[in-house]
Amino acid sequence: MASKSTLSYASRAKTHRSSLVKKLFDIAEVKKTNVAVSADLRNTKDLLALADAIGPYIAVFKTHIDLVSDFGEATVAGLKSLSVKHNFLFFEDRKFVDIGNTVQQQYHGGALRISEWAHIVNASVLAGEGIIEALVQTAQGSDFQYKDERALLILAEMTTKGSLATGAYTSSAVEIAKRHQGFVIGFVATRSLESVRTDIPATEDEDFVIFTAGVNRSSKGDKLGQQYQTPKSAIERGSDFIIAGRGIYASEDPVASVKLYQEEGWQAYLARIGSKD
Ligand code: 5BU
């Protein structure tokens, strides 16, 4: 079976079973970007200003919404209108990791109203498959009004030095994802996970999307264990969307910076699919 990472976003959009992924791939193609900015900002004004400024150059706006000290209706309404204006999706990097009953409440309702605005969320499988079943149950419930517009990534690896999300943990993450394709659309990982062996053989239409954090064009890491790779390296290793935070929002000129990430990420993608564009 051909590796999905050699195919274009457009051709993957045609066959993907998730309508949200179709939309994500369409955005990537239309805007020629595979950049997900990690907007780790501390107040609504800064968050919305960044989203408006770099919106034209990104496919996904990743948040840690619990960092936003004045989070409220203005945050949600502002984010939603900017995602329509600039055509990008939201990924709340919440990393759910608890018992099913708790994560259902953290996801849907709760102080941060995550399901109302975040197209994509992520969860660790440290607690086992039950956490994924719980989120699937909520997202497929009869009273859930965002059906087909929401998706989940499983945290399969982490970028930090000494990460324990390796080996058997990563294989279990892949196996669990295979059993929940649809709402589970892929992984947060440093590379393609197509080569990870599990007891469940890949089906023809299996197509997990890889989001890769820890991407920076000019730094190798920080003083707290973060480890970076470049946009080019991430895409070459099979990432579909590159997540960059401080490399963009903390640079002197975030718009100029995001354009460089966009260009490097897109060129690496074109090279990977063998396009002459
Ligand atoms: P940075 O400023 O580009 O280092 O920010 C990286 C972001 O990606 C930050 O929001 C992290 O929480 C997030 N992240 C990560 O760095 N590494 C991981 O393995 C995962 C998420 Br999962």
Q: Say how far apart CA 141 and CA 143 lie, in whole Å.
A: 5
Find, among 274, 265, 242, the residue nearest to 32 by Cα: 265
Smallest CA separation from ligand 1 atom 8, residue: 213
115: CATH: 3.20.20.70
- What is the domain extent for residue 266? 4-273
At residue 276 the predicted structure's pLDDT band, cuts being 50, 70 and 90, is low
- pTM of the predicted model, to two decimals? 0.98
- Active-site residue numbers? 93, 95, 98
Task: Quote the ligand 1 centre to 235 CA distance (angstroms).
Answer: 17
- Rounded Cα distance, 221 and 244, in Å: 12
What residues contact residue 21 under an 8 Å CB cut-off, 6+ apart?
12, 13, 151, 185, 207, 209
CB 229 within 8 A of CB 205: no
Q: In ligand 1, which atom is closest to the CA atom of 246?
A: 2
Q: How far is the C-alpha of 12 from the C-alpha of 273, rounded, in Å?
A: 12
Domain count, the chain: 1
pLDDT in tens, 8-41: 999 999 999 999 999 999 999 999 999 999 999 9
Amino acid, single-letter form, for residue 187:
F
Q: pLDDT tens digits, residue range 139-189?
A: 999 999 998 999 999 999 999 999 999 999 999 999 999 999 999 999 999
Q: Compute, in angstroms, the gap from residue 94 CA to the centroid of ligand 1.
A: 11
Question: Closest ligand 1 atom to the C-alpha of 64?
Answer: 10
